Amino acid sequence: MEKLLKLINEYRLEKGASEYTEYIPETGYFTRKSYFYEHYSWVISKKFGFIQWLVDNDKIDKQWAKNLLYESEIFNPLPYTDLAERLIMYLSIQDDPIEFLISILK
The predicted pLDDT at position 104 comes to 92
pLDDT tens, residue by residue, 27-67: 555 555 433 344 466 666 766 788 899 999 999 999 998 88
In this structure, are residues 41 and 35 in contact, taking their beta carbons and an 8 Å threshold?
no
The predicted pLDDT at position 26 comes to 53
pLDDT tens, residue by residue, 73-106: 666 676 767 888 888 888 877 777 778 888 899 9
Supply the pTM of this predicted model.
0.72
Residue 95 and residue 81: Cα distance in Å, rounded? Answer: 23
Residue 106 and residue 102: Cα distance in Å, rounded? Answer: 9
